[in-house]
A and B are shown apart, each in its own frame.
Chain A
Amino acid sequence: MSYTLLIIALPALMFLILGLLGNKMKPVVAGVLGTLSLAVITVVAYITGYEYFFGGVGKAGGEAFQSIIPLNFEWLRFTEHLHIDLGIMLDPISVLMLVVITTVSLMVHIYSLGYMKGEKGFQRYYAFLSLFSFSMLGLVVATNIFQMYIFWELVGVSSYSLISFYYTKPSAVAASKKAFIVTRFADLFFLIGILIVSFYSETFDFATLTNPDAPFVGTALGASFMGISALSWALMFIFIGGAGKSAMMPFHIWLPDAMEGPTPASALIHAATMVVAGVFLVARLFPIYFFGTPEVLTIIGYIGAITAAYAAMVACAQTDIKRVLAFSTISQIAYMITAMGVSGYGGHDGLGYMASLFHLFTHAFFKALLFLGAGAIIHAVHSNEMKDMGGLKKYMPIARWTFLIACLAIAGIFPFSGFFSKDEIMVAAFHHDKVIFTILYIVAGLTAFYMFRLYYRIFHYENDKHYHHAPHDAGATMSIPLIILAIFSIFSGFVPFSELITADRLPFEAHIDIPIASASIAVALVGIGIATVMYRKKTNMADKFIAMFPWLYKGAANRFYFDEMWLFVTRKIIFNCISRPIAWFDRHIVDAFMDSLAHVTNAASDKIKGLQSGHIQQYALVYLVGALLFVAAFALCVVCFICK
């Protein structure tokens, strides 16, 4: 399986080629080159997936899927035990991620050929897409947690570069800084968590870190700090890192702003792949979470549920279509996180784990489709705002039908893919925690409502809206990815996930729980129904509804003032109480000490530099005066001697 190295190496190489030589080639050449290399690795990833799951490679050692390490070399050695390796590990979740990432990335590459055509910095865009693909793929195949951390940061950097792609726009620059700082702040906790865990386990290797019977688990559980075991602290910190990337509360604030980047990049990074890194992280370390610190897993479940509810409420009140999708992304990722939190381990108990990754899989396709569809619409009407849209169904049939499919998928309508994955999450939550189930159930209705509000506002609403330039469907490069992703969105729900990806890696029988499934379809239909009544035609019902709950609407439209809360904490408290005193100390004590050393030296040399004038006569004078003084002193001594 060592050909999987190609999956990592090719995008890295392409990043170097496009990054260094991009400006020497025509934009089209750069785009096609990037797309072709991605097509190659997509094929390789599919072959890997087939070989691993169905070709007998994964099950070589018995019933359960094995972790295969085709490649691993030592990169840095610190002590006898502690060393950082770089390598490739294939196991069910990493192979799944390879397939998801390459598929979505390829669609985005093709789509961008049309969407980004004529943009300044087209080659740079493709270079960064390659960098992103490289780092994301490196992240999922990491053999040890430190390699994962390295690629984790690389993913953050490429996300930063793509958000600030339009770097002449101040809002894009601010958004990229915000995304970078917030995720980086969370990553600090991730690093601390890694250090605590590796302190006890003396290794970074996942083989040890995911083994709940390993001796370090006991020692780390035994050591306690402030009444909580070291392992709980470490795993909580690691989850905070994941929450930063996956935009869980309270770190979700960067994701809506990240929509300043080009829409295809948002589809790839901020919808389908990078933001699920947190879910992947929890899935990767799941055995240790489950057996070591179930209380942390419970916290994760609740954080997920609260975030899902929050993001769904906010999404109902946004008017920028990309922001609606951003909040919907937060909400759906929160579903996956919650599913991890309510999961058990073996057999049917591990339903939550399986459902989480199943939802990751299906969500990647329909959310990428939604974003790419939104991109096509923005491309056609040159605006992100709902008020500039409406009645587009007769202008853009392809975008409309694919968007509708994605909306049905995310709302969880049978037989679209979202139904299957969301149903499994609901079942897992129902058997584990009724409170979480209730929240998720209501959120499912809200999801259907805000997605169809979006759909109707774009394609129906003002049917006779007049456009200066009649909008039309985009060309083949943009439409084909939409159609392919729509096919994936319809059929990816039929993948037999419970036989492939499970917590204990043994297949189990999963079946659709008819009462819960019909209940969740019912609530989705209610949501769709309300949206249809309120937004299918232009009526004043929505305004009336808003007038009934003005504070709720205002709060949701302003995202419940989370950004303001963060600004208050950072600007007012951290800046004033910590940063400013430290800056003052640095400037007036540390710097001033060094400066004064320089000043003293400077002033002293200014005073004595006259001695070295180079004037021969001055030297002679000094010499003469000195000689006379010696003579005088000598004479004085002689006189004294004689007198005595």
Chain B
Amino acid sequence: MNNIPLEACLAVSTIMFFAGVYGFLSRKNMLMVLVSLELMLNAADLNFVVFNRYLFPNQMEGMFFTLFAVAIAAAETAVAIAIIINIYRNVKSVYIDENITTMKN
């Protein structure tokens, strides 16, 4: 595993992050938006792990931070999905478009 260069790992996380950005901007389905959000979050987590591994191999702060981030992301996803389900119950749609304007203004 040591022969994987740092740049390769960073390239993966960059691709993941921008894939997430693209999905966040272009998808209309709220679930897909949520997935894209997770993708960006995980790209950041990956950066934590990679930098921890390559720069400070004897310390574990990066790893633990990632663990916290994953836990919080799980909770956040649960909340987001709960919101999406409630929206669906009310307007029978999970698409981000003109149907959902109740909370505007």
> Which residues of A lie under 8 Å from residue B101 when comparing CB positions?
614
* Shortest beta-carbon distance from A625 to chain B in Å: 10
Contact A617 B104 (CB under 8 A): no
Contact B104 A614 (CB under 8 A): yes
CB-CB < 8 A to A547: which residues of B? none
Asked if B21 is an interface residue, CB under 8 A from chain A, the answer is yes
Interface size on A, residues (CB 8 A): 7
Say whether B1 faces chain A, with CB atoms less than 8 Å apart. Answer: no
Question: Interface size of B by Cβ–Cβ distance < 8 Å?
Answer: 7
Residue A624, interface by CB 8 Å: yes
**1/0 contact trace for B85-105 toward A, CB 8 Å?**
000000000001000010010
Question: Does B21 contact A624, Cβ atoms closer than 8 Å?
Answer: yes
- Compute how far the CA of A616 lies from the CA of B21 in the bound complex, rounded to whole angstroms: 13
A620 on the B face (CB < 8 A): yes
**Contact A624–B104 (Cβ < 8 Å):** no
Complex: how many Å from CA A624 to CA B96?
Answer: 19
Q: A620 touching B104 by the CB < 8 A rule?
A: no
Contact of A548 with B by CB under 8 A: no
Q: How far is the CB of A199 from chain B (nearest CB, A)?
A: 59
- Min C-beta distance of A365 to chain B, whole Å: 75
Contact residues in A for B25 (Cβ distance below 8 Å): 617, 620-621, 624
Residues of A near B21 (CB, < 8 A) are: 624
Residues of A within 8 A of B26 (CB): 617
- Give B30 Cβ to nearest chain A Cβ, in Å: 10
Closest-CB distance, B91 to chain A (whole angstroms): 16
In Å, the complex CA distance between A634 and B101 comes to: 38
Residues on the B chain within 8 Å of A620, using CB:
24-25
List of A residues within 8 angstroms of B24 by Cβ: 617, 620
Bound: A617/B24 CA distance, A: 7
A384–B25 Cα gap in the complex (Å)?
87
- Bound Cα distance A381, B47 (Å): 111
Can you list 10 A-B pairs, Cβ within 8 angstroms, ordered by A? A614-B101, A615-B96, A616-B96, A617-B25, A617-B26, A620-B24, A620-B25, A621-B25, A624-B21, A624-B25
User: Which of A's residues lie within 8 Å of B, judged by CB?
Assistant: 614-617, 620-621, 624
Interface residues of B (CB under 8 A from A): 21, 24-26, 96, 101, 104
What 7 pairs across the A-B complex have the smallest Cβ distances? A617-B25, A614-B104, A621-B25, A620-B25, A620-B24, A624-B21, A617-B96
* Besides A616-B96, A617-B26, A624-B25, 10 other A-B contacts (C-beta < 8 A): A614-B101, A614-B104, A615-B96, A617-B24, A617-B25, A617-B96, A620-B24, A620-B25, A621-B25, A624-B21
